[in-house]
Structure formats: C-alpha cells, structure tokens
Amino acid sequence: MNYKGQRALVTGASSGIGAVFARELARRGADLVLVARSADKLAALADELSASFGVAADVAVADLAAPSAADGLAADLRSRDLQIDILVNNAGFGLFAQLDQADAAVLADMIRVNVAALVDLTRLYLPGMLDRDRGAVINVASTAAFQPVPYMAVYGATKAFVLSFTEALWAETRGTGVRVTAICPGSTETSFFDIAGENAQVGQRIPPQRVVHAALRAVDRRASTTVTGGAGNWLLTNAPRLAPRQFVARMAARTMRPAKSREHVSQKRGQHTGLQASPENTKQALRD
Ligand SMILES: NC(=O)c1ccc[n+]([C@@H]2O[C@H](COP(=O)([O-])OP(=O)(O)OC[C@H]3O[C@@H](n4cnc5c(N)ncnc54)[C@H](OP(=O)(O)O)[C@@H]3O)[C@@H](O)[C@H]2O)c1
C-alpha cells in the first residue's frame, strides 16, 4: 500500500505497538494524528517523527474510556480540517484477575477502550474511506481472541469482539479500495504487562517492531487477519478450532491459572471430594 500523503490516525500512539505503528507509517510517508491520554509523550513523538521523516504529525489528547470519546475526537479533528485516510485502532489494555476480584470500573473502561471506541471510530471514518474508495482500517486484536481466556475473561472477550467485527467488515468491504485487517499479536515487549500484570504473559515476548511489520505486510496483501509471533502462536490460535469448546476453556484455564489460585482450587476440590491438597491431588485437580 502506498502511504505517502495519506493521513493515519493511530490510537494508543504514546507507547508500545502504537508508537511503533506511528514510526513505521511516518517512515513510509504518512502524515499522522497521534491519540492517547499522555500529552507529553505524544508531543515528543510528533516532534521526532516530523523532524525525522518530514511528515505532518498532529496530536489529539483523548481518554477513549470516556463516553462519546470518539465523537469528541472526530469533532476536534474536523475543526482542524484533518481528514483521516487510515485508522489504526490500537489503544487497549488488559487485566489479569479473577472476575469476582476485578474492579468493575476498570472492566467497564476496558470495554469502552478496547471495543466501544474502536467501533465508534470505525463507524465515523469508514464511510469517508468508502466514498474516496481508498484507505485502511487496522484493528489490534490479540491471540487472546481465539479462545476464552480464564482470569482475563473480559479482555479475551473484547479481543474476540475485535476479531469478529474486523473479519465481518473485511467481508463487507471486499471489492472496494478500502483494506480492513485485524492483527493478532501474542505476548509483545511493551508496557502492556505493567497494567495487565506479569501473569498475563503467554510464551516469549517479541519486539513490537515485528508485530507492526507483519501487520503492514498483511495490509499489503489485503489479509483479513494476521497472527504474529511464529509457529507457537499459529498453533495456539488454530488448535482450538478442532477441539470441543469445554476442553479448550479448561486447557486455557490450566495455562493461565496462577500458582496461588491452583492451590486454592485444589484445596476447594479437596473439600468437595474428601481429598487433601497435596502435589499429587493438585495435579489430579488440574487434570480434571
Ligand atoms: N503487549 C502485548 O503482549 C499485546 C498482545 C496482544 C495484543 N496487544 C494489544 O496491543 C494494543 C497496544 O498495547 P501495547 O502492548 O502497545 O501496550 P502499551 O504499551 O501499554 O500501550 C497501550 C496504549 O493504549 C493507550 N491507552 C490505554 N488506555 C487508554 C485510554 N483510556 N484512552 C486513550 N488511550 C489509551 C495508552 O496510552 P495512554 O496511557 O497515554 O493513554 C498506550 O498508548 C492493545 O490493544 C493491546 O490489547 C498487546
């Protein structure tokens, strides 16, 4: 895809995968609108990218967890006469916690940022792209989209939404000049784990540059979806298709369950079955 002279809006551009998206798009000649809450980081990145690559880089500070955040952002950009040709819906966060112990307000914010803002921005900017018969929507899902994710139940569900939504739009827009792609990274070396918690990591982390290069290659070949991170992630995301759903959920729980909780579960099962928690019984509980 030719990015020269196109304007890309990147949400979550203040760090991690979003910041790398911004840099790679600037390198390819795209002008930018950088969106996140961290005004200082966005301003520093905008200065750096316009100095290094000679592109226009605008900043729009927005909290995408706020109701009507997307409408407010679009109104702001309209007032500055900034047309959006490429939308990268990247902002998002996760939280590792059993649902009954998770903060309800954090979960509500997660749904607003990961899902509602992404849908709203797509609904706002896709019609203009279709009218012009060119453009791209790149939505950041996750390998978490392909199976339930116990202990990150809401996060996994938001990413399953993003994947389903994006694949549906890919089919709706086929035959037009607009590309729609979901990217599904596995564990990636970013600040994500500062908020989600270290237990959220599955497999080795890869650099965000690898994720973004794979994403832009997928956009080039008009792919609906790309899973980044090699053969392990390919297996992780394809194996569940063939297995019974309960089996997949139990395997996912076994992978994600933190050590402390494993003990708790095995003790509880001990109470129910008359078994005492012991390494052998714990293993049995995990096999159940
Ligand atoms: N890292 C991984 O292992 C991994 C794996 C699969 C998928 N992903 C997905 O990749 C995307 C980017 O995450 P990352 O790994 O790059 O993590 P990150 O470094 O923590 O970046 C998250 C970005 O989202 C922005 N953001 C968070 N809440 C926001 C809000 N309320 N309003 C506006 N912006 C907000 C943050 O900016 P501010 O804090 O400045 O607002 C930041 O720029 C997310 O959708 C994540 O789910 C990550």
> Please, what is the Cα angle at 42 between 39 and 47, to 5 degrees?
125
| Pairing, β 31-36 against β 135-140 | unpaired
Contacts of 257 (CB under 8 A, 6+ apart): 150, 151, 265, 286
Beta strands in 67-146 (DSSP E): 86-89, 135-140
Q: How far is the CA of 21 from the centre of ligand 1 (A)?
A: 12
Contact 285, 184 (CB under 8 A): no
Token couple for 30: 């795209």
Look at residue 4 in the predicted model and tell me its pLDDT.
96
Q: How far apart are CA 273 and CA 288, in angstroms?
A: 12
Q: Mean per-residue pLDDT for 68-84?
A: 98
Q: Give the distance (Å) from ligand 1 centre to CA of residue 195.
A: 9
Q: What is the 3-state secondary structure (H, E, C) of 1-59?
A: CCCCCCEEEEECCCCHHHHHHHHHHHHCCCEEEEEECCHHHHHHHHHHHHHHHCCCEEE
Q: How far is the CA of 6 from the centre of ligand 1 (A)?
A: 24
Domains of the chain: 7-243 (3.40.50.720), 258-287 (no CATH)
Please determine, for residue 245, whether its predicted confidence score (pLDDT) is greater than 90: yes
- Atom 41 of ligand 1: nearest residue by CA position: 37
Instruction: Give percent of the chain with pLDDT exceeding 70.
Output: 90
Helix (H, G, I), strand (E, B) or coil at 108: helix
Residue 229 binned pLDDT confidence (cut-offs 50, 70, 90)? confident
Residue 259 scores a pLDDT above 80 = no
| Ligand 1 center to 93 CA (angstroms) | 5
The more confidently predicted of residues 230 and 154 is: 154
What does pLDDT average to over the chain? Answer: 90
125 is catalytic: no
Write out pLDDT tens, residues 110-134. Answer: 999 999 999 999 999 999 999 999 9
Give residue 283's pLDDT: 31
Concatenating the DSSP letter of every residue in 177-209 gives SEEEEEEEE-SBSSTHHHHH-GGG--S--B-HH
The minimum-distance atom of ligand 1 relative to the CA of 112 is: 31
Minimum-distance ligand 1 atom for the alpha carbon of 187: 3
**Could you identify the residue written with the tokens 């590792």?**
96
**What pLDDT shows up at residue 68?**
94
- Given a cut of 60, whether residue 276 has pLDDT beyond it is no
Q: Which of 3, 125, 151, 155 is catalytic?
A: 155
User: Which of the four pLDDT bands, split at 50, 70 and 90, describes residue 102?
Assistant: very high
CA distance 210 to 61: 27
CA-to-CA distance for 33 and 50, rounded, in angstroms? 11
**Beta strands 7-11 and 225-228, pairing class:** unpaired
In this structure, the residues whose C-beta lies within 6 A of any atom of ligand 1 are: 12, 14-18, 36-38, 62-65, 90-94, 113, 140, 142, 185, 187-188, 190-192
More confident residue, 19 or 201: 19
Is the distance from CB of 125 to CB of 84 less than 8 angstroms? Answer: yes
DSSP H or E segment with residue 71: helix 69-79
In this prediction, what percent of the chain has a pLDDT beyond 90?
81
Q: 174: alpha, beta or left, given left = phi > 0 and alpha = psi -120 to 50?
A: beta
State the Cα–Cα distance between residues 282 and 270, nearest whole angstrom: 9
Q: For 166-187, what is the mean pLDDT?
A: 97
Strands 31-36 and 86-89: unpaired
Q: How confident is the model at residue 261 (pLDDT cuts 50, 70, 90)?
A: low
Query: Does residue 288 carry a pLDDT above 70?
Result: no
Pocket test for ligand 1, best of 38, 93, 198 (most atoms within 8 A of CB): 93
Predicted pLDDT of residue 33 = 98
